[in-house]
Chain A
Amino acid sequence: KNQVEQSPQSLIILEGKNCTLQCNYTVSPFSNLRWYKQDTGRGPVSLTIMTFSENTKSNGRYTATLDADTKQSSLHITASQLSDSASYICVVSGADKLVFGAGTILRVKS
């Protein structure tokens, strides 16, 4: 069964700290993996997209990693800011199918 599992479900960190979100998937065949940031009441915004051959991709303070062998991905946020508070969604693309993770709700406190 094609699944995408994200952890933790929610996370609270202090402003300025780093954090790492996890995404494990069983989608096969695999096409690409995307991380999105969704602010409350808004549509998701793309952070990174990685194909099978890519291990790491950065977008500012966001760095995503992909291990296609273990089917795991992580999203690392460096020097968190209050504006990073949002839901982070991992989406895996397979054969004509997109599988969404349930998301990790991140709250950055001052």
Chain B
Amino acid sequence: GAVVSQHPSRVICKSGTSVKIECRSLDFQATTMFWYRQFPKQSLMLMATSNEGSKATYEQGVEKDKFLINHASLTLSTLTVTSAHPEDSSFYICSAGLTRSGANVLTFGAGSRLTVL
């Protein structure tokens, strides 16, 4: 149980375009989802916490207009990288939790590799 599906796994786009990444909890309802960014050989960096039905909470230094997060249902959260630039190229990972702090269940998606040309 507690499977999180992330799509797409890889995406290549041109500079200036927007890219949407989906994160779905397949067999449970996730009241909280987390979005992370990971650079090569570094640990995950929390970008934002999204709560179903309310606005996402962004970590310091993360531009909310750049990284749009929508958590419209208990099983789906999306991250849209708007007007992507090469420096946005990274590995983006989502995780889903069953409680507001995510302490009880925290399952990660397989990640999405974004390459901006």
Q: A: which residues have CB within 8 A of B? A: 31-32, 34, 36, 41-46, 87, 89, 91, 93, 95-98, 100-103, 105
The 0/1 profile, CB within 8 Å of A marked 1, for residues 102-117 of chain B is 1100111111010000
Interface contact B91-A41, CB-CB below 8 Å: yes
Interface contact A93-B101, CB-CB below 8 Å: yes
A62 to chain B, nearest CB (A): 17
Interface contact A42-B42, CB-CB below 8 Å: no
- With known contacts A41-B91, A44-B108, A105–B44 Cβ distance under 8 A: no
Interface contact B101-A96, CB-CB below 8 Å: yes
A80 to chain B, nearest CB (A): 21
Which of B41, B106, B113 is A98 in contact with, Cβ under 8 Å?
A: B106
Is B43 located at the chain interface by the 8 A CB criterion? Answer: yes
Interface contact B43-A100, CB-CB below 8 Å: yes
| A101 neighbours in B (Cβ, 8 Å) | 43
B113 to chain A, nearest CB (A): 7
Interface contact A89-B101, CB-CB below 8 Å: no
Interface contact B43-A93, CB-CB below 8 Å: no
Interface contact B108-A102, CB-CB below 8 Å: no
- Chain A residue with minimal CB distance to B9? A41
A30 to chain B, nearest CB (A): 11
What 10 pairs between A and B have smallest CB-CB spacing?
A43-B108, A96-B101, A102-B43, A43-B110, A43-B111, A93-B103, A44-B108, A31-B103, A103-B43, A100-B43
- With known contacts A41-B113, A95-B101, A100–B91 Cβ distance under 8 A: no
| B41 neighbours in A (Cβ, 8 Å) | 105
Question: Which residues of B in the span 71-117 have a Cβ within 8 Å of any Cβ on A?
Answer: 91, 93, 95, 100-103, 106-111, 113
Interface contact B43-A97, CB-CB below 8 Å: no
| A41 neighbours in B (Cβ, 8 Å) | 91, 111, 113
- Chain B residue with minimal CB distance to A10? B41
| A95 neighbours in B (Cβ, 8 Å) | 101
Interface contact B43-A34, CB-CB below 8 Å: no
Interface contact B111-A34, CB-CB below 8 Å: no
